[in-house]
Amino acid sequence: MGKYNPANRCAAGAARLACLPSLTRCIVKNADLLLTNGVFLTMDEEYHVYSPGAMAVREGRIAAIGPQMEVEAGFQAVERFDCGGRVVIPGLVNAHTHAAMTLLRGLADDMRLDVWLLGYMFPVEREFATPDFVRLGTRLACAEMIRSGVTCFADMYYFEEDVAAATAEAGMRALCAQTVLKFPSPDAQSFEDSLAASREFIKRWKDHPLVVPAVGPHSPYLCTADMLRQSAELAAEFDVPLHVHLAETALEVENSRREHGMPVIPYVKKQNLFDAKVLAAHCVHIDEGEMRTLLHYNVGVAHNPSSNMKLASGFAPVVKMLETGLAVGIGTDGPASNNDLDMFEETRLAAFIAKGQSGMPTALPARMALTMATRLGAKALYMGDRIGSLEPGKSADVAVVDLSTLHNSPSFSHSTDALYGQLVYTAHASDVTDVMVSGRWLMRGRALQTLDEAELVRQAREVAKRIDTFLIERETSVFSKLVAIGGATEGESFEVQVKVRLADREGVVRALGAEPFSVLRARRYREYDTYFVFDDPAQGRLRYREDEFVGEDGEVYNVRYRLTLTGQARDQSYAASILVSRSRFIAPATHSLRFYREYFQPAREIEIRKDRRRWLVHYHDTEFFINLDQVSQPKLPGYFLEVKSRTWSRIDAENKAKLIVEMLKDLGLDTAQAVGAEYVQIADPPA
Amino acid sequence: MGKYNPANRCAAGAARLACLPSLTRCIVKNADLLLTNGVFLTMDEEYHVYSPGAMAVREGRIAAIGPQMEVEAGFQAVERFDCGGRVVIPGLVNAHTHAAMTLLRGLADDMRLDVWLLGYMFPVEREFATPDFVRLGTRLACAEMIRSGVTCFADMYYFEEDVAAATAEAGMRALCAQTVLKFPSPDAQSFEDSLAASREFIKRWKDHPLVVPAVGPHSPYLCTADMLRQSAELAAEFDVPLHVHLAETALEVENSRREHGMPVIPYVKKQNLFDAKVLAAHCVHIDEGEMRTLLHYNVGVAHNPSSNMKLASGFAPVVKMLETGLAVGIGTDGPASNNDLDMFEETRLAAFIAKGQSGMPTALPARMALTMATRLGAKALYMGDRIGSLEPGKSADVAVVDLSTLHNSPSFSHSTDALYGQLVYTAHASDVTDVMVSGRWLMRGRALQTLDEAELVRQAREVAKRIDTFLIERETSVFSKLVAIGGATEGESFEVQVKVRLADREGVVRALGAEPFSVLRARRYREYDTYFVFDDPAQGRLRYREDEFVGEDGEVYNVRYRLTLTGQARDQSYAASILVSRSRFIAPATHSLRFYREYFQPAREIEIRKDRRRWLVHYHDTEFFINLDQVSQPKLPGYFLEVKSRTWSRIDAENKAKLIVEMLKDLGLDTAQAVGAEYVQIADPPA
C-alpha cells in the first residue's frame, strides 16, 4: 500500500497507483466516485501533492489517489466530481470541543473563568441542558463545522448519546465522551449515575461506523481520584478513548501541587488514568518531563489556541510538545469560549502563537500547522489508521477549498510551501465549498446536504430568547443570582435581637460569670464584613463575612466565609429596639470576595470590622447568644452588646423579647441605651 | 451638538435629535439618505446604541442619528435604506498597512525577518514595484478592505501618489505616507529624491476630501537621524501626519541602545520627530516611561496583532498603553506579513492576545477592542474629528453587518456587552453586507460598487505569475540568490596559486627573513570557513568566511566576514599544481551564518578551520601573498604553504607561475610536494 511513485509502472502501461492491496492488479477498476481536476494535498508522511490530481472512492474509502491521468486510466466511476482546480485536503479534525455549546456562544465574555463558569455556564446548563437542547446545539455545531471543512471532532458534554445521534444523523465523524463530574450535572445526579450512563452509551455505540464513544472524566479538579480510576478502567475494558482536560490553567497545577504534592500529569498517572487511550485537552502548563510521560503512554493532545487566549489560560508549549514527538491536534474548544468552531482560524493561530511565544518566525510553519489540523489530530483521537490524510484505504473524508477568492488573491506557486501557507495564513472557513465524509457529500457548492440551516438558526434563536429571559430576570435579582451560582441553602430565620452601647465591658463580663447566667460556650473572633449595596434597596444587602476564630493563645485557629442576603425591610420590631430580622439566605462563601464583586456588581460596598467575644448562655431556661463587640471599622467608641436568639415562631419571639428586657437589667444595662440600628446602618446611615 | 437624550424634546412634539447645530430647529428637514431599521452602535464616548435606530445623511455627513421613530419624524429623504435589523457600526479603521503588498501576500512565510525582508520582499519589490503595480495592489487591497467593513486605512509604501489615486478612485479614505529610506528604493534613488517627492505629493493632495497625504520615514533603523529630522520638519510645515515604524522588535531597541545609547523612543524624540503629528506603528518594545512620552506628544499608535505574532516581533503592551491614555488603533500591517487585511480578525486577536499575555480574561473586553478598531483608530490617524463614531457632523462612513448567519447563531440580548462580544469574537469579515464612505455606497448587498473584483483578481494572477517565474529562476541559481540580497559586488579575479605540504615551518619562516625576499606586511589570523555545497555542482560552492585577526599580543583585534561564491570548475591549470581559479563573487557577509544557511538552503556544509600566518612579500620585483597554514578542522598533520597572486591577464599568470616554481626552490621546497587541491577538496574529496 505504497505512496504513488511514477517509477512503479506495470507492463500494460496503466498506472500502478497508490491503491488498496485488493485493487493493485492492472485492470480498470470500478469506483463509486471519481474526484478529478483538483490540487490534492494528501498530508501523508511524504506530503505528496498531486496537481492536477484525482481520487477514486469506493464504499466510502479512498481506492486510489494520484496524478489525474493515471487515476483516470485506472478507474471508471458511476459519478464524477470536477474539483475545478480547487484544493482538496483531508477533512479537518477538531480535536476538542463541546459542540452543543453553540447554543451558549456569546452568552458571556470577558469574565474571570470562575465567574464565567459558575455564574453563567453552569447555571444556564442546569436550567436548559436537556436532550433536545443537546441535539439542537450539536446539529448547529455540525452545520458550522461542515461549512468550515471539519469532518471529525472530539466532543465532551452532557447527554452525550444525543450528541452522538445528532452527529451520526448529520453524517459527521466524532469521538463522543460522556462527561463524568464530581457534582450533579444536568444528566446525572451522581458520579455512579454518570459512569453507568457512560457504560451503556459505550456498549450501544461501540461499533458505529462514524461515532467512537468514550468516557469523559472532566478534569482532575472536577473529579475525585476514584472517578479518574474508574473512568480509566471503563475505557480500558471497552478499549475506547478517554477524553479529559489536563493542566489547562496555572491555578490547576498549583492546586494539584498543594493538594496532591505533585503536578497534574504525575497525579493522574498515579490514578492509572493512562491505562486508557487518553485524549488530553489543553496541556498548557506541563514541563518536558511531563511531555515525555505523555509520549510514553501514547497520549494524544488537543491544543486550543483561541480558548487558551480568551480565557487567559496561557500559551501551550506546542513547539516543545511536537519536538517531543507527541501527537498534538488542534481544537476549537467549546463555542462558548472561542466563540466559534472555525478550524481555519485555530490552525492559523496555532502557527501565530508558536512564533509570537518563541520569538522565532520559523516556529511551527504552515505545513506543520496543517498537519496538526489533519493527520496529527486524527492520531490524537486514535483514528490515525482511518482518517487524517488522503491515502488509499483511509476513509474518503475531504474538504474542497476555493483559493481563488478575492482575499486569497493572488496565489504563488514558486514553492509548495506557498500552498500550505495560503491555506493556513490566508484562507477563511468560508472558502470551503464541498465536504465529504465516508464518501457521502455533506456539503456541495456551499449548500449543506444533511442539515436544514435556516431551521437550525430559527430554533437556536428560540432557545436564546428563553435563555435571555432567564438571565434578564436573574440579573435583576440579587437573590436569583445567588441561587444561580448554587451552594446556597434557602432558609428563613427569625432572629430576636437587641443592641446596647456601653462604655466598658468589664461589668458585663463579670455579670455573665454568675447567676442567673450559665455559660455553655465562649468564643472569640474577628469579623470582617463587606456589605454589597445595590441601587434598588428592595434587592436587600448581601454580606460577605469572614470570621477569624481566635484561640486562648491569641492565634487564629479557623476561618469561615459566609454570604448572607438580608432584606432591607425590618419584618417586625418590638419594644426597646428588639428586632426580628429575617435572614433570607445563608451560604458558605466558597469563592473570593473579588469573584462576588464581579458577579454581583454592587453599586457600593460598606466594610465593617469588629472584634467579638461571643457567649452561648442559658438564661431562665432559654438559650441566647451574647456578643460583646468592639467595632474598629468604622471606628465606633466603646462597646456594643448584642443579645440574639433564633426563633421560628412569633409567640416565641415575643417571649424572648420580654426575657431580653429582663436580661439587660441583670447586666446592669438600660433598654433606653438600646441602639435601633445594625452596624451597617450606623456605618452608612440613610441619607 | 449633544447626544440623543429622550428628555430633550421640543414643544411641537418632534424629536430633538442629536444633529448638526444648523438642523436643530424643529421642522422636518431634508436628507439625502435615511438608513432605517438597524441596530446602530454609535461607538461614541457614551456608547449609545439605538435599536431600532435610524440615521440621516446629508452631503456625505451624518445629519442625525437616534431612535428610528424620532429620526423619521425629523427627516424626509430622497433615498431610504432598510438595514433589515442588521447592525450598523462606524467603518473600521485599519491603522497601519502597506496596501499594495496584497500582490506579495503568501509570497514567502515562516522565515526569519531578515531572510523574508532582504531575501524576498526587497528583491521582488526592486524588480516589480512600479506605479502600475502599486495601483493594482492598492485596488485589490481596497476591494478586500471594503468587503471586510474597513472604510479608512493608514498606508506607507512606494509611489504613494498612486496609492492615493487608487484609493480615491475606489472611494475609500486613507492616510497615505510616502516612504523615506536610507537606501535606494523602487521610487527614489536617494533620500533627497524621496523627500522631494513627499513634498510634491503633500502639496498636491493636501486638501483632498478622502486622502490625507503624509511623510513616511520608514523607521529609525532604515533612516538616518537627519532623515528623521527633515521628515518631521516637512510634516510640521504642512501640518500633515508622519507615519513611522517604531520599536517593532527587541533587536531594534537593542541596536538603538548600542548605537545611540538610548532606546528607540528617546532617540527619535531627540531627532525632533515628535514635532510632527506622529502615527507610530507597532510600539511592541516600549516601557511605561516611553508610553508617557508618546502621550505627551499626542502620538497615535497602531497595534498589529497578526504581524507581530507572525514575524515573532513580540506581544505589544496594549493594555498598558490604553491605561496610559494613548490612542491605540488596530492595523493589519501589510498583507505580506499577515496575510490578509481582515480587521475583524485583528480586532479579535487584539482582545485575545491582551488576555493571553496578561493572564486576565477581563483584559481588553470586546467593547474596548471595537473602540480601538473605530474611534481610537481614527484618533490615532488624527481624523478623530471626522470619523470613528456615528455622531452628527461626522462623515457617513459606516459598515452594515449581518449577525444572523449560521456561525453567528444564536445571539443574546440580555446585556449590551453581548452585542460587542458577538461583533468581536464571532463575526467574520464575510458578514459585512454594505459599506459606505462619505455617504457613498462602496458595497451594497455584498456587491462592490466602485471596483471590478473579477478583473482585479485576474490582473493580480498575471503579476503573481511573473513573480513566480522570477523567483523560480532565482531559486535555481545560487548566484542569482546572492545577487538578490544585494550588497555583493560582482568581479572576476584570477589567482595564481600553489600549495605545498611541509612537516615543519621553521625553515620557511627563516628563509622569508632573507634575500631574495622582502616582507612588506605580516599578519596572523584564524580563519573559519563554512562551505555551502549544493546538489548541482554547477552552482559552485559558497564560502562563508570569518577571519579573526590576531595581534602581537595574541589578542583578536579585528573580525571580518565575507562571502565568496566560487565556481566548481578549474579555469586553467599550470605546471606543478599552480592554479588559476576564478572567484566569481565576493561580498561582505553582513548577516549571520544562520541567515545564509536558511536563505541558500545548501545540501551540505563543510567546515574548515585554520591558523594562518600571512606575508605580503616582494620577490624579484613581484608581489606575492604567502600563507603558512595549520589546518585544525579537518585535522591535517604538518603545515601548508600557499603562494598566491591576483592577476588580470593570462600572460601575467604564466610569468607568475614560473616565478613560483623558483620561489619554492629558494624556500627549500620541491614542486613535487605540491598539493593540487583546495582545502575544501581535501576535507571533502569527490566520491
Nearest-angstrom CA–CA distance, B31 and B8: 22
Give the nearest partner residue to A457 out of B315, B360, B404, using CB atoms: B404
- According to the model, what pLDDT value does residue A645 have? 83
Supply the DSSP string of B195-211, one letter for each residue. HHHHHHHHHHHTT-SSE
Strand-pairing partners, residue A56, are A34, A64
Mean pLDDT (whole number) for B217-225: 93
CA nearest A454 in B: which residue?
B406
ipTM score here? 0.79
The predicted-structure confidence for B77-97, as pLDDT tens digits, reads as follows 999 999 999 999 999 999 999
Give the nearest partner residue to B365 out of A110, A406, A421, using CB atoms: A110
β-pair type (B300-303, A92-97): unpaired
Nearest-angstrom CA–CA distance, B57 and B439: 7
Asked if the model's pLDDT at residue B221 lies above 60, the reply is: yes
- According to the model, what pLDDT value does residue A8 have? 35
- According to the model, what pLDDT value does residue B382 have? 98
* CA nearest to A57, candidates A38, A45, A49: A38
- According to the model, what pLDDT value does residue B29 have? 92
- According to the model, what pLDDT value does residue B578 have? 56
Asked if the model's pLDDT at residue B488 lies above 70, the reply is: no
Give the nearest partner residue to B421 out of A109, A360, A366, using CB atoms: A109
- According to the model, what pLDDT value does residue B15 have? 37
Query: What are the chain B neighbours of A102 within 8 Å (beta carbons)?
Result: 409
The predicted-structure confidence for B430-455, as pLDDT tens digits, reads as follows 999 999 999 999 999 999 999 999 99
With CB atoms and an 8 Å threshold, state whether A422 touches B106.
Answer: yes
* CA nearest to A333, candidates A354, A350, A355, A358: A350
Whether A34 contacts A71, CB under 8 Å: yes
Query: Residue B403: what residue type?
Result: L
Nearest-angstrom CA–CA distance, B568 and A453: 65
Nearest-angstrom CA–CA distance, B532 and B162: 42
Asked if the model's pLDDT at residue B9 lies above 50, the reply is: no
From the CB of residue A546, how many other CB atoms can be counted at a distance below 10 Å? 17
Nearest-angstrom CA–CA distance, A151 and A281: 19
Task: Indicate the pTM of the whole model.
Answer: 0.79
With CB atoms and an 8 Å threshold, state whether A110 touches B361.
Answer: yes
Asked if the model's pLDDT at residue B4 lies above 60, the reply is: no
Nearest-angstrom CA–CA distance, A59 and A61: 6
Distance from CA of A82 to the nearest CA of B (A): 22
Query: What are the chain B neighbours of A421 within 8 Å (beta carbons)?
Result: 106, 109-110, 339
Domains and CATH numbers, chain A: 14-85 (2.30.40.10), 92-384 (3.20.20.140), 488-683 (2.40.320.10)
- According to the model, what pLDDT value does residue A396 have? 98
Asked if the model's pLDDT at residue B307 lies above 90, the reply is: yes
CA A93 to chain centre: 20
Supply the DSSP string of A356-419, one letter for each residue. HHHT-TTSS-HHHHHHIIIIIHHHHTT-TTTSSS--TTSB--EEEE-TTSGGG-S---SSTHHH
Eight-class DSSP state of B332: -
- According to the model, what pLDDT value does residue A648 have? 54
With CB atoms and an 8 Å threshold, state whether B314 touches A415.
Answer: no
Query: What are the chain B neighbours of A139 within 8 Å (beta carbons)?
Result: none
Distance from CA of B178 to the nearest CA of A (A): 25
Residues in chain A: 687
**In which band, very low, low, confident or very high, does the pLDDT at B14 lie, cut at 50, 70 and 90?**
very low
Lowest-confidence range among A349-363, A656-670, B62-76, B600-614? A656-670
Supply the DSSP string of A533-573, one letter for each residue. E-SSGGG-EEEEEEEEEE-TTS-EEEEEEEEEEE-SS--EE
Give the nearest partner residue to A356 out of B110, B315, B468, using CB atoms: B315
- Choice between A478 and B165, residue whose per-residue pLDDT is larger: B165
CA nearest B455 in A: which residue?
A406
Q: Kindly state the cell numbers that stand for B458.
A: 485576474
- For B440, the enclosing helix (H) or strand (E) is strand B440-444
Which 22-51 residues of chain B touch chain A by CB within 8 A? none
- According to the model, what pLDDT value does residue A22 have? 46
Supply the DSSP string of B113-145, one letter for each residue. HHIIIIIIIHHHHHHH--HHHHHHHHHHHHHHH
- According to the model, what pLDDT value does residue A682 have? 80
Lowest-confidence range among A456-460, B129-133, B283-287, B518-522? B518-522
- According to the model, what pLDDT value does residue A649 have? 57
Nearest-angstrom CA–CA distance, A431 and B206: 40
**In which band, very low, low, confident or very high, does the pLDDT at B477 lie, cut at 50, 70 and 90?**
confident
Residues 6 or more apart in contact with residue B399 via CB below 8 angstroms: B88, B89, B90, B91, B92, B149, B150, B151, B432, B434, B435, B436
Residues 6 or more apart in contact with residue A326 via CB below 8 angstroms: A291, A294, A295, A299, A300, A301
Distance from CA of A335 to the nearest CA of B (A): 9
Distance from CA of A318 to the nearest CA of B (A): 15
Asked if the model's pLDDT at residue B584 lies above 60, the reply is: no
Query: What are the chain B neighbours of A110 within 8 Å (beta carbons)?
Result: 351, 361-362, 365-366, 417, 421
All residue ranges of chain A with pLDDT < 50 are: 1-16, 19-25, 490-492, 568-573, 576-577, 583
Nearest-angstrom CA–CA distance, B212 and B279: 13
With CB atoms and an 8 Å threshold, state whether A107 touches B412.
Answer: yes
